[in-house]
DNA sequence: CCTATAATTCTAGATTTATCGAATTATATA
DNA sequence: TATATAATTCGATAAATCTAGAATTATAGG
């Protein structure tokens, strides 16, 4: 993931609703949750939620699988790990190594 | 840092210019860099840069110290670590523990 | 005091984002 | 086929963000 890709993903997580959705999906685990379940749990109007989910899927934070009528949303842990790795790398170069901090 | 605080910080990092500024400051190390140095290095118009720096300072990503005429910007590593910790926690709860993944 | 420098604030326009009801599409089922 | 359900797309509005030139503030130095 390059600079702009990282920025794009962080921007998506940088919205309260979307962050809440992502956290909910992580809690839901590898099976994910349907759009309806998310909607019920977080109480976001359907069209608004759909908009946010589409954005998250676009940058790769989540995957969406259609099973007949319902669409299941699954968080992409690998994507998040890449993000975290990028930030971690940012944090640990230069003179800012604290004792015990992991280097890469 | 709570949910909204995390979202706010991620949103700030989720902008190409601001992410570039933050990366530049991390490379600069604990001494940070002056607004002018950032401006010269990244070639962003002064007023635009000032706007972005103010936003970053507001959420706590950077600190700003005034030394006579120049303002030195210093990244807040602790703040970033908090952010990373939050994301890491998000990533590692639920069923998504991979072998070797750190738990908290 | 005057000038140059560092940076911010002001201002305004362009773009993007957020919101959500209404209409639409797709699918299951009676 | 008719109906209900799941979700998206449409459309329109409000709000926030981005951008950058011009004006302003603060300070150093001649």
Task: Tell me the per-residue pLDDT of B51-88, one tens digit each, with 9 for 90 and over.
Answer: 999 999 999 999 999 999 999 999 999 999 999 999 99
Best mutation target, B11, B63, B98, B104, to test chain A (most A CBs within 10 A): B11
A3 with B20: Cβ contact below 8 A: yes
Q: What is the pLDDT of residues A58-90, one digit of tens each?
A: 999 999 999 999 999 999 999 999 999 999 998
By the 8 A CB rule, do A59 and A5 touch? Answer: yes
Residue B75 phi, psi (nearest 5): -70, 145
* Residues of chain B contacting residue A30, judged by C-beta atoms under 8 Å apart: 94-96
Whether the full predicted model's pTM is greater than 0.85, yes or no, is yes
Question: What is the predicted pLDDT for the residue at B93?
Answer: 63
Q: E strands within chain A?
A: 33-34, 62-67, 70-75
State the nucleotide closest to B12 in CA–C1' terms. D17
Q: How far apart are CA B96 and CA A39, in angstroms?
A: 22
Best mutation target, B56, B59, B75, B96, to test chain A (most A CBs within 10 A): B96
Q: Beta B33-34 vs B70-75: how paired, if at all?
A: antiparallel
For chain B, the DSSP string reads --HHHHHHHHHHHTSHHHHHHHHHHHHH-TT-EEHHHHHHHHT--HHHHHHHHHHHHHHTSEEEEEETTEEEEEE-HHHHHHHHHHHHHHHHSTT-PPTTPPP-
Q: How far apart are CA B18 and CA B4, in angstroms?
A: 19
Spanning CA of B51 to C1' of C8, the rounded length in angstroms is 9
Q: Check CB contact of A19 with chain B, cutoff 8 Å.
A: yes
Q: What is the pLDDT of residues A32-54, one digit of tens each?
A: 999 999 999 999 999 999 999 99
Using the predicted structure, report yes or no on whether residue A29 has a pLDDT greater than 90.
yes
Determine the protein residue whose CA lies at the shortest distance from the C1' of D22.
B47
Spanning CA of B85 to C1' of D15, the rounded length in angstroms is 31
Class of residue B79 by CB neighbours under 10 A (exposed 0-12, middle 13-18, buried 19+): middle
Mean pLDDT of A14-18: 98
Q: How far apart are CA A25 and CA A93, in angstroms?
A: 32
Q: Please, which pLDDT band fits residue A93 given cuts at 50, 70 and 90?
A: low
Spanning CA of A78 to C1' of C7, the rounded length in angstroms is 42
Name the residue with tokens 């607004």: B35
Mean pLDDT of B32-61: 98
Q: Please, which pLDDT band fits residue A91 given cuts at 50, 70 and 90?
A: confident
Q: Check CB contact of A12 with chain B, cutoff 8 Å.
A: yes
């Amino acid at each position: 993931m390059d600079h702009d890709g990282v920025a794009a993903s962080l921007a998506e997580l940088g919205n309260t609703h979307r962050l809440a959705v992502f956290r909910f999906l992580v809690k839901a685990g590898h099976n994910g949750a349907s759009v309806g379940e998310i909607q019920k749990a977080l109480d976001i109007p359907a069209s608004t939620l759909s908009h946010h989910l589409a954005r998250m899927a676009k940058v790769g934070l989540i995957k969406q699988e259609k099973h007949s009528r319902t669409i299941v949303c699954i968080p992409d842990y690998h994507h998040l790990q890449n993000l975290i790795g990028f930030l971690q790398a940012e944090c640990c170069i230069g003179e800012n190594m604290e004792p015990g901090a992991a280097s890469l």
